[in-house]
Amino acid sequence: MSQLTAADGRGAPQGRDESALFEEETVPHAFVPTSAWPSLEGPVVAHSSTAQTPSPSATPSIGIMPPVRHPAAAEVLPGFDQLRSRVDDAVLSDLIGDYKALRGTAGPAPEEATGRRPDQLGNLLGTYRSARFRSAARKVVREGAGDGTSLNKLADYSNQRAGVGAILRDRFILDAEIGRGGMGVVYSAVDRRRLEAGSPQPYVALKLLNDAFRTDSNALRTLEAEARKAQSLAHPNIATVFDFDRDKAEVFIVMELLTGQPLNRLLAASTGQAMAPALIANVLKGICAGLAYAHASGVVHSDLKPGNIFVGDDRQVKLIDFGLATASNGTGFDAGQLGALTAAYASPEMFEGADRDPRDDVFALGCIAYQMFVGFHPFAMRASNEAREQGLTLEPIPDLDPMAWEALKKALAFERDERPQSVEAFATALFEA
């Protein structure tokens, strides 16, 4: 809180009149008269429950309450968006009140309280600023893009830890947690730059890496290199990675925010039975197209699994988390130990520390395809090295074309050389059978 100084004796930032920050019309008046309400010209009298009803010819008395009528239920119950807007306004109003009350505390304060006041003021400013950004973003989504919003007035004086409401890099405001995994937590976040530019989509996804990655400098350097590599992948079936960045102790990856469901949820909804054939074909073709492009660009996914395959509301398939597990290649650190390797979908070679190969992704793709065709994992969610040691074999899929079944069996071979040499070869055998 070194930026907070006692410019006015109460801990406000130097050179800034913080009171002026709250003079703009953030919270609407609680009561706004309509044209149907009587004018307040003339004496103001209060209605009484015993007052007589005036005759139509009499001059109506002017009261502080509107004419009584019984509105319909639709008029009484506001919609969800209207309620959320009112909640946003109430939160902002309370924050303003807390801020002004803290700044306006009169009389001598104990030394301990005086020392805490700058921190309290800074935290209130940061919380208010975060709430305003998030409220403005919801308004953009609800009402459509406007001319852009100028949100440069408030500087960030808070030391908030990363979590809902926190602001990273003076740009990204964490709005809601949308996922959690071995590598970290994923949030939907308001991108301040998009909001100021009037973008119709002010949200992005932020993956905050967990402590195991943040404290391992070797892992951090490699993950950054892999994230930069993923940025080069521009394909309709690959989620866009915008940036890899840090804010003090927080390390995060900025990605496009997707709407829809990850494939693992769709599979969970149909456990024990095959998915619809049209959906299977759509998803598998999307996965194959994205993987083929990535492999041609020299990038192996290395953590392909249903949770990293997103099926959008428009049935568009997107692959996420490209290349992060590949970070274990020759760097002296094992991504598998940090949760970047998913045992049920990893090839036996990955457990042996072999160099990454596109055929590792083919093995994972075979597991996913089998799961979609049958409704359960080919090896009952056991790791491939354990399945090999136990001599497990695949249960045939009766309704599948023999050539397609042969392609699927090869994709699930425990030996790398027995698998299809490329995703394209697997897709050709599967779909042109």
Q: How far is the C-alpha of 363 from the C-alpha of 345, rounded, in Å?
A: 7
Q: Decide if 262 contacts 310 (C-beta within 8 A).
A: yes
Write the secondary structure of 261-327 as one string of H (helix), E (strand) and C (coil): EEHHHHHHHCCCCCCCHHHHHHHHHHHHHHHHHHHHCCCCCCCCCHHHEEEECCCCEEECCCCCHHH
Q: What is the DSSP code (8-state) at residue 249? A: T
Measured CA to CA in angstroms, residue 109 lies from 101, 105, 115 at distances of: 14, 9, 10
- Inter-axis angle of helices 358-374 and 423-431, nearest 10: 30
CB-based burial, 299-308: b 16+ in 10 Å, e otherwise: bbbbbbbbbb
With vertex at residue 253, the alpha carbon angle to CA 249 and CA 254, rounded to the nearest 5 degrees, is 125
Looking at this protein, which amino acid is placed at residue 376? F
Q: Which residues contact 197 (CB under 8 A, 6 or more apart)?
A: 148
How, if at all, do strands 309-312 and 260-262 pair? antiparallel
139 assigned to a ligand binding site: no
Structure tokens at 217: 């400098």
Q: Which residues contact 259 (CB under 8 A, 6 or more apart)?
A: 312, 313
Looking at this protein, which amino acid is placed at residue 64? I
Residue with token string 């049209």: 278
Looking at this protein, which amino acid is placed at residue 267? L
Active site residue 119: no
Rg of the chain's alpha carbons, rounded to an integer? 30
Q: Which of 303, 321, 357, 361 is catalytic?
A: 303
CB-based burial, 256-278: b 16+ in 10 Å, e otherwise: ebbebebbeebbeeeeeebbeee
Residues designated catalytic = 303
Binding-site residues for ATP, in ranges, read 207
